[in-house]
């Protein structure tokens, strides 16, 4: 096939469709006198380098899952929570079981992704996963138990939603002592395990949607923009209007706002 005799546009289209190109053909195209052909080759090479980097990162992030499968575990769930830091709203957890052949190259710690990337990945994860579970702990439970134990409760509820049940858990830097299942606490797990990263994305998208819905009930706080976190906009509204039923009374800044409203 004499690719070099083709037009620049035809060569560019052909390269775009190729997963592999014979090294000799690629060398001859890279030396073509036409600048457009050389640019097409360079673009294809950049694309292949990016794909290789994504595949290498995926392989590194599946090491925990592969080790557990080598030990005989089959249904490995990643578990993560979001919403420990906000002044308002629930803490939300997700549990996700991915199949062994899953490949979601864009998947990463949810904090590193744009809102659009999280939404697209949430859909892809739900299409790919063997099971997805969501759990939450309410504002009242956060105030009663403290945020750490409320986060654990949300995670246990997320795991309980999985069908089929998991036979091993990968969690972000904690374990769930009440669950009689093999568990691994992975430090910075949402950046080191694909299962935990998937759970972080699903939990983040779910919680953001809850806070967007809450913004219709309490529009003065801008929950659709700040998700309950202590932004300057949120703090100014808290000072002006005081806390609403979604604010965590056990948090110092909310307590201060409540006292200020009572004293005014």
Q: What is the pTM of this model?
A: 0.92
> Omega of the bond prior to 11 within 30 degrees of 0, cis?
no
Annotated binding residue 32? no
Q: Is 45 exposed, middle or buried (0-12, 13-18, 19+ CB in 10 A)?
A: middle
Residues of the chain with confidence (pLDDT) below 50? none
- Nearest one of 60, 103, 85, 105 to 227, comparing CA atoms: 85
Annotated binding residue 81? yes
pLDDT, position 2: 82
CATH 3.30.420.10 is the classification of domain 63-212:
yes
pLDDT, position 106: 93
For the chain, what are the domain ranges?
3-60, 63-212, 214-263
pLDDT, position 1: 67
pLDDT, position 262: 82
Q: Is the dihedral of CA 213, 241, 258, 84 positive or negative?
A: positive
Annotated binding residue 208? no
CA-to-CA dists, residue 233 to 116, 127, 172, 219, 223, angstroms: 23, 37, 30, 12, 10
* Residues whose CB is less than 8 angstroms from the CB of residue 173 and which lie 6 or more positions away in sequence, other chains included: 185, 186, 187, 188, 189
What size, in residues, is the chain? Answer: 264
CA distance 222 to 209: 13
Show the tokens assigned to 147: 């945020």
């Amino acid at each position: 096939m004499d690719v070099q005799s083709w037009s620049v546009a035809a060569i560019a289209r052909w390269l775009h469709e190729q997963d592999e190109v014979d090294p000799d053909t690629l060398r001859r195209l890279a030396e073509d006198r036409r600048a457009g052909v050389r640019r097409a080759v360079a673009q294809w090479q950049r694309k292949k380098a990016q794909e290789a980097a994504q595949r290498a990162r995926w392989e590194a992030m599946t090491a925990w899952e592969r080790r557990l499968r080598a030990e005989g575990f089959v249904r490995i769930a990643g578990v993560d929570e979001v919403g420990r830091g906000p002044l308002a709203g629930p803490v939300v957890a997700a549990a996700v079981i991915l199949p062994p052949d899953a490949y979601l190259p864009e998947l990463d710690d949810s904090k590193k992704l744009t809102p659009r990337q999280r939404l697209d990945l949430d859909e892809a994860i739900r299409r790919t996963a063997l099971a997805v579970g969501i759990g939450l702990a309410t504002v009242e439970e956060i105030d009663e138990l403290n945020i750490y134990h409320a986060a654990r409760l949300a995670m246990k509820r997320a795991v309980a939603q999985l069908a089929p049940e998991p036979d091993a858990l990968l969690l972000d830097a904690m374990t769930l002592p009440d669950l009689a299942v093999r568990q691994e606490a992975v430090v910075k797990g949402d950046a080191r395990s694909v299962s935990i990263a998937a759970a972080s994305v699903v939990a983040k998208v779910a919680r953001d949607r809850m806070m967007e819905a809450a913004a219709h009930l309490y529009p003065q706080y801008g929950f659709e923009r700040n998700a309950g976190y202590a932004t300057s906009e949120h703090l100014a509204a808290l000072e002006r209007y005081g806390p609403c039923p979604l604010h965590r009374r056990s948090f110092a800044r909310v307590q201060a706002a409540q006292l200020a409203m009572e004293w005014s």
